[in-house]
Chain A
Amino acid sequence: MEFIKKLQTIDNRIIYAVMLVCLALPLLFPIGIPLSIAENTQSVYDLIETLGPEHKVILSLDYEPASSPDVHPQAVAVSRHLFERGVQVIYVSFWEAGPMFAEGLIADFTSQYQLEYGKNVVNLGFIAGRETAIRAFGDDMINTAPVDYKNQPTSSLPIMEGVVDAKDIDLFITFSGGSPGVLEWVRQVQAQHNVDLAAGAVTVSVPGFIPFVQSGQLKGLLAGLRGAAEYEVVSGLPGSAVAKMDGQSLGHLAVIMFIVLGNIAYLTTKKDKE
């Protein structure tokens, strides 16, 4: 009975140690738990499958290093898919760290897909101003981003030829770690110009964006690291996100186990008191 009572007050260090083992061990010894594909992830994939070299897509990297483990794998998987299909990709960001992630993606994929900067990929850099900047960007891209991340005039780049406002872009995808992010893109670009918008978001924000998927304002939604893993699987190129899902599974089981133990102890102690 004393043991049962002690289950109510497990030392935090024990909880942290168990979580560390559950999250880290599968990285060293992969289990390979199968992964099903959510409808919202499949929607993003199907949308990109309709695009080709004549299409232009804007990827808005609206996250920072803190939220990058949850969102950056989505950007990697989607970028890879777009470059495989030869789509022209325009990176932009309304968070300060976004351009650095874009530079990393361009560097990683340039040799693999023979990318030519300015012709089939460009990094427009960070645009200050949060929601107002997103609105300004949707209304007039060249004047809102007059130079790219390398300080070259945007209007001189072949990829930006014919691009005036949001209607000249075939698909917008925002990878959002907070605000400004999905809500601002829906309000200021999708609603104003009636364009196709998809999103990837940190897991904790996803429930808040489900209404926009149901209303059709978001054509698809990648949910955190699981969304990135699903996209890697559906693309046929499993990567780092899939490798981390085993750890997520064990971590969830560990949390559930602690919740069950705590409640067994709570109910047993409560019964004794009564």
Chain B
Amino acid sequence: MRREIPVIITFVVGILFLLNNVVAVELGSMSLANIVKELSTWVTVVSAFAVGIASVNLVRVHSRNIGSRRPRWGLSVILVVTFVIFTVVGISASTYKMPWAIPLNQNLFDYIQTPLGSAMFSLIAFYIASAAYRAFRLRSTEATILLISAVLLMLGRAPIGEVIWSKFPTIATWLMNIPNAAGQRAVLIGAAIGGFAVALRVLLGMERGHLGGE
């Protein structure tokens, strides 16, 4: 029954959500829409628990690294200490409204977390330059089309392109609105149909990967 009960719950709840988009049903004093609305708020509660479980697991894994002195356990110490500091300050600020914690919480976010996160993302610019230099070669017809489109878009999207030739932005806009939009529509429709097929399999219990185990 360990696997059957989750499958039954998935089917019942899934059918309710699916029917709610199609029909309006009154079930005694309650309507299907109200039941679905109530279940939707339960998802918010369960998801909040998932965030908590993820945090506990993170500390557990890295504490084990520290205790067993695994390679680079020093990094685990930094992670756990930082985690504790941010958690204590965050809870003190948001839940207990401690005067010392509120500005400290915002400052930790503005002056440590945001610059560090931004710096990591910014590394992509350098990797893209290096990857573009090595990958964009005129090896075939398709590669040539890709290269020319990429260069036209880069010149069309950067202000310098319009200074070089006033038509670059027009060409870039055409590339985005016509060939790109056509391809993206195909991807969106394909993904939607594929997603619906997977959802149907999950609803009917034919797909059980999300249950874990065997």
- Residues of chain A touching chain B, judged by Cβ–Cβ distance below 8 Å, are 10, 12, 15-16, 18-20, 23, 33-36, 38-39, 64-70, 96-97, 100, 103-104, 107, 127-130, 132-133, 135-136, 139-140, 143-144, 149-151, 203, 206-208, 210-211, 214, 223, 226, 245-246, 248-256, 258-259, 261-263, 266-267
Contact of B137 among A18, A144, A266 (CB under 8 A): A266
Bound form: Cα–Cα A214–B46 in Å: 37
Question: SS class of chain B's interface: helix, strand, loop or mixed?
Answer: helix
Task: Find out whether the CB atom of B130 lies under 8 angstroms from the CB atom of A35.
Answer: no
Task: Find out whether the CB atom of B47 lies under 8 angstroms from the CB atom of A252.
Answer: no
B114 within 8 A of A: yes
Task: Find out whether the CB atom of B121 lies under 8 angstroms from the CB atom of A136.
Answer: no
Which 5 pairs show the lowest CB-CB distances between chains A and B?
A: A65-B117, A136-B40, A249-B160, A128-B47, A258-B133
Task: Find out whether the CB atom of B184 lies under 8 angstroms from the CB atom of A211.
Answer: yes
B27 within 8 A of A: no
Bound form: Cα–Cα A124–B140 in Å: 53
Residue of B nearest to A267 (CB): B138
Task: Find out whether the CB atom of B159 lies under 8 angstroms from the CB atom of A262.
Answer: no
A154: shortest Cβ distance to chain B, in Å? 13
Task: Find out whether the CB atom of B157 lies under 8 angstroms from the CB atom of A19.
Answer: no
A-contacting 9-mer, from B69-77, B169-177, B197-205, B206-214: B169-177
A-contacting 9-mer, from B3-11, B59-67, B147-155: B147-155
A residues near B37, Cβ cutoff 8 Å = 136, 139-140, 143
Contact of B43 among A133, A150, A246 (CB under 8 A): A133
Bound form: Cα–Cα A10–B46 in Å: 52
Task: Find out whether the CB atom of B181 lies under 8 angstroms from the CB atom of A211.
Answer: yes
B12 within 8 A of A: no
Bound form: Cα–Cα A9–B18 in Å: 56
Task: Find out whether the CB atom of B121 lies under 8 angstroms from the CB atom of A210.
Answer: no
22 CB-based A-B contacts, threshold 8 Å: A10-B133, A34-B159, A64-B117, A66-B118, A66-B121, A67-B121, A68-B114, A69-B121, A100-B109, A127-B44, A128-B48, A128-B50, A132-B47, A136-B44, A214-B181, A248-B159, A251-B125, A251-B158, A252-B157, A255-B128, A261-B133, A263-B137
B residues near A144, Cβ cutoff 8 Å = 40-41, 44
In the complex, besides A207-B176, A210-B176, A211-B185, 13 extra interface pairs with C-beta distance below 8 angstroms are A12-B130, A16-B130, A35-B159, A65-B118, A68-B118, A100-B109, A151-B95, A210-B180, A211-B184, A245-B159, A251-B125, A255-B128, A261-B133
Residue of A nearest to B177 (CB): A210
Task: Find out whether the CB atom of A15 lies under 8 angstroms from the CB atom of B51.
Answer: no
Contacting residues of chain B (96-151) with chain A, CB-CB under 8 angstroms? 97, 106, 109-110, 113-118, 120-122, 125-126, 128-130, 132-134, 136-138, 147, 150-151
Residues of B within 8 A of A (CB-CB), count: 59
Contact of A129 among B44, B132, B162, B176 (CB under 8 A): B44
Bound form: Cα–Cα A20–B41 in Å: 47
B188 within 8 A of A: yes
B163 within 8 A of A: yes
A residues near B109, Cβ cutoff 8 Å = 65, 97, 100, 104
Bound form: Cα–Cα A266–B147 in Å: 14
Task: Find out whether the CB atom of B40 lies under 8 angstroms from the CB atom of A15.
Answer: no
A residues near B162, Cβ cutoff 8 Å = 34, 36
Contact A136 B43, CB 8 Å, known A33-B159, A208-B184, A249-B159: yes
Residue of A nearest to B103 (CB): A107
A124: shortest Cβ distance to chain B, in Å? 12
Contact A143 B154, CB 8 Å, known A211-B185, A214-B177: no
Bound form: Cα–Cα A33–B47 in Å: 47
Contact A143 B129, CB 8 Å, known A66-B117, A250-B160: no
